[in-house]
């Protein structure tokens, strides 16, 4: 086979990727969020584009430039990310949930800035949080679902928690990410991950997020193809 003339791995495929953190408003000036930089999701978007896919990148607030040739949709809260995903995911072939979605949001968003002296005798304050929808699980539950890949950020028992998530959420693959290890994961330029599937366990040693993204996209394309045969 002359590989120089082989079509790129994801030619003709539509890929939807979520990236970055979400922000859950408390009042007009405050929010709850997390340390996700969006780097891994952006690297995956770039790698998928280089592999020939049409890419939609749905991202929370990040300080990153959009990869060339990728359509970027900016969102803020988990709820708005959920809605954007369900607008874009119909007819897609691959969905990659890389975003660090806030699991909870404040039950109420105050219309005005919360004043600290509202109750002078109180040294503490309580905020009631309610659950956000699980975006990747909702995509995996669609009748006409794409190939679905989730990420699992864990600080202990990495592979068992990650595989739990894969089965509970109905994912085709889960990318297990040890966010307690130094130099990889959240906000870092490098990552080291292990991909788990029904009959798959493949580790990728520490490298730049763009190198890891290239290897992951190659594996996802191969696993998607295996499902079609």
Nearer to Ca ion, 103 or 189 (CB): 103
Q: Which residues pair with 147 in a beta bridge?
A: 94
Interface with ligand CTP (CB under 6 A), residue total 15
Closest separation between CB of residue 168 and ligand CTP, Å? 8
Site for ligand CTP in 142-201 (CB under 6 A): 150-153, 165
Select from 221, 206, 97, 105 the least CA-distant residue to 153: 97
Select from 48, 134, 42, 44 the least CA-distant residue to 86: 134
Q: Is 163 annotated as a binding residue?
A: no
Closest separation between CB of residue 9 and Ca ion, Å? 30
136 binds ligand CTP (CB under 6 A): yes
| Binding map of Ca ion across residues 75-114, x = CB under 5 A, - = no contact | ----------------------------x-----------
Q: Is 133 annotated as a binding residue?
A: yes
99 binds, among ligand CTP, Ca ion, none (CB under 5 to 8 A by kind): ligand CTP
Tokens, residue 74: 């900016």
Closest separation between CB of residue 88 and Ca ion, Å? 22
Nearer to ligand CTP, 45 or 78 (CB): 78
What CA–CA distance (Å, rounded) separates 174 from 170? 10
| Binding map of ligand CTP across residues 91-130, x = CB under 6 A, - = no contact | ------x-x-x-x---------------------------
Classify residue 145 as left (phi > 0), alpha (psi -120 to 50) or beta: beta
Q: Is 135 annotated as a binding residue?
A: yes
User: Which residues are at the interface with ligand CTP (CB under 6 A)?
Assistant: 18, 78, 97, 99, 101, 103, 132, 134-136, 150-153, 165
């Amino acid at each position: 086979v002359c590989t120089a003339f082989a079509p790129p791995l994801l030619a003709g495929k539509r890929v939807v990727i979520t990236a970055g953190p979400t922000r859950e408003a408390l009042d007009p000036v405050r929010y709850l969020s997390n340390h996700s930089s969006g780097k891994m999701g952006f690297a995956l978007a770039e790698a998928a584009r280089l592999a020939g896919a049409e890419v939609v990148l749905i991202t929370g607030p990040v300080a990153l430039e959009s990869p060339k040739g990728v359509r970027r949709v900016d969102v803020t809260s988990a709820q708005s990310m959920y809605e954007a995903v369900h607008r874009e995911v119909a007819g897609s072939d691959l969905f990659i949930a890389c975003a660090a979605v806030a699991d909870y949001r404040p039950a109420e968003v105050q219309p005005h800035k919360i004043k600290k002296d509202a109750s002078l005798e109180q040294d503490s304050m309580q905020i009631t949080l309610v659950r956000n929808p699980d975006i990747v699980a909702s995509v995996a539950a669609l009748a006409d679902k794409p190939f679905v890949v989730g990420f699992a950020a864990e600080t202990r028992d990495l592979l068992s928690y990650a595989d739990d998530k894969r089965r509970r959420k109905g994912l085709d693959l889960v990318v297990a990410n040890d966010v307690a290890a130094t130099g990889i994961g959240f906000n870092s330029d490098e990552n080291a991950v292990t991909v788990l599937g029904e009959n798959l366990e493949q580790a990728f040693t520490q490298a730049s997020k763009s190198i890891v993204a290239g290897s992951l996209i190659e594996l996802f394309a191969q696993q998607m193809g295996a499902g079609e045969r």
